[in-house]
Amino acid sequence: MQLADHFAVLLKDTVNLSQGKLDLLDSRVNSVYKALKADDEIGDIILGKTPQGSWAHKTIINPVGDNEFDADFMLDMEEVPGWEPKTYIEQVYAALHRHTIYNDMPHSRKCRCVRLVYANSMHLDIVPHLHLADGREVIVNRDENQWETTNPDGFTEWMRSKDSIARGNLRRVIRLMKYLRDHKNSFVGTRSILLTTLLGQQVTTLKTFADPDYYSNVPTTLLHVVSDLDAYLQAHPTKPSIPDPSGSGVTFDHRWTQNTYSYFRDRIHAHAAEIAEAYDETDKDRSVQLWQGIFGDGFAAPVEKSSGKFPTEAAPAVTTVGRSGRAG
């Protein structure tokens, strides 16, 4: 059974990052940006900021247990003659080190960002981002002291178009699959950018020509996208090349190994079968049990609410239709 109302509860109460945490994230990013912009040494070359990654794509999820959640934002910077690529990360790190507040907070230099850690809550990855005089849009690879071509706006637009085809359900499916990875320790080692790209690649308008309801709701989209991804992976025993769908010309191939890919391929194959079994099960209690076997106890029915003025009325029955058209 589809049990779309149960998925709404799972997403709202368990998977999605709460609005309070999103507001906190926005507030902290603004504060960090204000501090960097006010820095005497690099403030003049800071041009703006842009959310990146799961924050920008609206696929950010709650962290596991008491772990901190993380978010990236691009720090738009002006090109400085004579600076090497790694200098931008060094300079952002130094600016935090000079600040009266952020100096006392853990902050470190990573390959492509500067990380700022807030105690027991979250960390921010600050990614220097430039438009070079030669026309390239780049971020920094500090480890190799090189520029990396990027097109974040293109990726975000690609994501928006795919989600539109899927009636707004692709982003929800990506969150569910990231939750499955993080909270159930499945396909550990597969980066979010790879998971997002591979899931998004399965969404096409061609599917809707044959079946207008192919992406009709969350469970149906989950079933079809994961099934289509499984078919793609099973056709590729060897790690395929995964191009950046933004059109930047780069690939994400360096983000995993053949061993990581093989493990991901095997786990998606198992999850596709589990999802199909739960979706096709006609007994409601058994279907709930199967879905909970995948996503945990957060997969639950909505709580009925009473107005307090009249006796509680039974909620309208939720129609759940399987692939064969049966309801129940």
Quick: pLDDT tens for 51-97.
Answer: 999 999 999 999 887 778 889 999 999 999 999 999 999 999 999 99
pLDDT confidence of residue 121: 83
Does the pLDDT at position 307 exceed 90? no
Determine the pLDDT at residue 304: 80
Tokens of 328: 């129940």
Task: Determine the Cα–Cα distance for residues 79 and 294; give it in Å rounded to an integer.
Answer: 48
In this predicted structure, what is the pLDDT of residue 97? 94
Contact 190, 256 (CB under 8 A): yes
Angle, helix 170-183 to helix 284-295, in steps of 10 degrees: 70
- 17 Ramachandran zone, left/alpha/beta (phi>0; psi -120 to 50): beta
pLDDT of residue 175: 97
CA dist list (Å): 144 to 1, 56, 147, 256: 51, 26, 9, 18
According to DSSP, the residues that pair with 114 across neighbouring strands are 109, 126
Share of the chain above pLDDT 70, in %: 93
The length of the chain is: 328
Is a pLDDT exceeding 80 seen at residue 25? yes
- Give the model's confidence band at 105: pLDDT under 50 very low, under 70 low, under 90 confident, else very high: very high
Give me the pLDDT at residue 68, please: 81
Is the predicted pLDDT of residue 305 greater than 50, yes or no? Answer: yes
Query: What is the model's pTM?
Result: 0.90
- CATH node for 17-152: 3.30.460.90
pLDDT at 271 over 50: yes
**What's the rounded mean pLDDT across residues 204-231?**
97
Q: Which two tokens stand for residue 126?
A: 């600050």
Give yes or no for residue 250 having a pLDDT over 60: yes
Report, as an integer, the average pLDDT of 286-293: 98
> How much is the average pLDDT of 127-152?
96
Give the confidence band of 232 by pLDDT, cuts at 50, 70, 90: very high
pLDDT value at residue 133: 96
Does position 318 have pLDDT exceeding 60, yes or no? no
128 - beta bridge partners?
Answer: 75
pLDDT digits 0-9 by tens, 180-217? 999 889 999 999 999 999 999 999 999 999 999 999 99
CB 74 within 8 A of CB 127: yes
Amino acid identity for residue 61 in this structure = I
The predicted pLDDT at position 323 comes to: 60
The predicted structure's pLDDT at residue 67: 79
Domain positions in the chain: 4-14+154-295, 17-152
For residue 322, pLDDT over 80 is answered with: no
